[in-house]
């Protein structure tokens, strides 16, 4: 799809990934970026840079994907949609009916509105949660659904609804299965990336970093601007339909992550190991080959550089970090 002169609706555009998608879109020769967000998890502060661009605005009437009349109003004249809105993993665990309403019914509303308004392309934010724990490594896109969580179930449902809408109505688009996305503007609600912020909190207080279990739990960490660029690549691609991993294909254990943070910060404290708490996934790394070949997406920021950028952002946004910490505790 050609982005030049287009109008893009970013649903969930005030969140961690969404706000970076908006900024990446504004690097293109687009006509307008419209942000549709109910600010349940996202924030106006995340949009501080983007909203300086006159081509960018927040949809004034509302931003809830369950309010179909308002959603349809936002879709008028839109060429493409990036759909990132969802309840996060632990919310889905604690409130499964809300997970159904927002992540499944809400996504159906988005798909239906895209068809009604003849949207040319939809990019759907899926998740590596559809895979669950890896049965083989690295996980290719044909890896079996090994999910056992409500969140993963809602993402699987979203993928299959997109598949059905593509088949029946010709809605073109792809789903992106994000691995563990981290970076500036992240909060404490990401189940596997919150460990970064909590470790840094401890180091600020002169306390040792806490690791639960033996630290062997391993994930595929990808920097947020890389995840955002994957959306731009997916929009620009001519692939009519498909699902793609968005990750680096590099496995990092929580112990290795903690040691890297200690190295970057120059703090000489021992790791404090605690008994393992509730854990949904302990082993996951995705194969990025298909996204590279089909979408033209390649990651650019390695983990050490990404952590340095996160730490730098954190040091210059102490008030924002404090607000995110308070929100987590509320």
What integer is the mean pLDDT of 151-177? 98
Spatial CA neighbour of 36 closest among 54, 19, 20: 19
| Distance linking the first and last C-alpha atoms of the chain | 43
241 by DSSP, 3-state: which? strand
Q: How confident is the model at residue 318 (pLDDT cuts 50, 70, 90)?
A: confident
Q: Which residue has the tokens 């391993």?
A: 218
Look over the chain and give the mean of its residue pLDDT values, rounded to a whole number: 94
Fold of the domain built from segment(s) 182-220+251-284+302-329: UDP-galactose 4-epimerase; domain 1 (3.90.25)
Query: Are 258 and 209 contacting, i.e. CB atoms less than 8 angstroms apart?
Result: yes
* CB proximity list for 263: less than 8 A, separation 6 or greater: none
276 by DSSP, 3-state: which? coil
- In the predicted structure, residue 329 carries a pLDDT above the cut 80: no
Superfamily in which the 7-181+222-246 domain is placed by CATH? NAD(P)-binding Rossmann-like Domain (3.40.50.720)
262 by DSSP, 3-state: which? helix
Q: How confident is the model at residue 162 (pLDDT cuts 50, 70, 90)?
A: very high
Question: What is the pTM for the complete model shown?
Answer: 0.95
Query: Are 141 and 159 contacting, i.e. CB atoms less than 8 angstroms apart?
Result: no
Phi, psi of 114 (to 5 degrees): -60, -45
Spatial CA neighbour of 17 closest among 305, 328, 229: 229
Phi, psi of 226 (to 5 degrees): -65, -45
Q: Give the span between the Cα atoms of 64 and 61, in whole angstroms.
A: 10
- In the predicted structure, residue 323 carries a pLDDT above the cut 90: no
Q: So what's the pLDDT on residue 317?
A: 85
Cα separations (Å) of 227 from 115, 151, 330? Answer: 26, 20, 29
**CATH topology agreement for domains 7-181+222-246 and 182-220+251-284+302-329:** no
Q: What is the DSSP string of 83-135?
A: E-----HHHHHH-HHHHIIIIIIHHHHHHHHHHHTT-SEEEEEEEGGGT-S-S
| Tens digit of each residue's pLDDT (9 = 90 or more) over 195-246 | 899 999 999 999 999 998 999 999 999 999 999 999 999 999 999 999 999 9
Q: Give the span between the Cα atoms of 55 and 3, in whole angstroms.
A: 14
110: left (phi over 0), alpha (psi -120 to 50) or beta: alpha
- In the predicted structure, residue 56 carries a pLDDT above the cut 60: yes
Query: For residue 43, is the peptide bond before it cis, meaning its omega torsion is within 30 degrees of 0?
Result: no
Domain ranges of the chain: 7-181+222-246, 182-220+251-284+302-329
Query: Are 81 and 8 contacting, i.e. CB atoms less than 8 angstroms apart?
Result: yes
């Amino acid at each position: 799809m050609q982005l030049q002169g287009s109008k893009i609706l970013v649903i969930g555009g005030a969140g961690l990934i969404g706000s970076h998608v908006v900024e990446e879109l504004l690097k293109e020769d687009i006509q307008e970026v419209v942000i549709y967000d109910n600010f349940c998890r996202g924030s106006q502060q995340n949009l501080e840079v983007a909203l300086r661009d006159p081509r960018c605005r927040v949809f004034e009437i509302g931003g809830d994907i369950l309010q179909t009349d308002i959603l349809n109003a936002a879709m008028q004249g839109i060429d493409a949609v990036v759909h990132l809105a969802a309840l996060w993993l632990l919310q889905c665990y604690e409130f499964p009916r809300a997970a159904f309403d927002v992540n499944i019914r809400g996504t159906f509303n988005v798909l239906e509105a895209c068809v009604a308004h003849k949207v040319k392309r939809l990019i759907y934010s899926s998740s590596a949660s559809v895979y669950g724990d890896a049965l083989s490594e690295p996980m290719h896109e044909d890896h079996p659904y090994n999910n056992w969580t409500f969140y993963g179930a809602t993402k699987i449902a979203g993928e299959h609804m997109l598949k059905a809408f593509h088949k029946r109505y010709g809605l073109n688009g792809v789903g992106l299965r994000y691995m563990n996305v981290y970076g500036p503007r992240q909060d404490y609600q990401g189940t596997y990336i919150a460990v970064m912020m909590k470790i840094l909190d401890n180091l600020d207080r002169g306390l040792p970093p806490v690791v639960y279990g033996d630290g062997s739990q391993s994930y595929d960490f990808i920097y947020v601007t890389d995840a955002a660029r994957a959306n731009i690549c997916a929009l620009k691609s001519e692939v009519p339909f498909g699902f793609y991993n968005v990750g680096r294909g590099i496995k990092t254990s929580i112990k290795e992550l903690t040691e890297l943070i200690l190295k970057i910060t120059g703090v000489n404290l021992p790791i404090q190991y605690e008994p393992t708490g509730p854990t949904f996934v302990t082993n996951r790394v995705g194969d990025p080959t298909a996204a590279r070949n089909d979408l033209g997406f390649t990651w650019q920021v390695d983990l050490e550089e990404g952590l340095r950028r996160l730490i730098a952002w954190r040091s210059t946004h102490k008030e924002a970090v404090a607000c995110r910490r308070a929100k987590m505790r509320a």
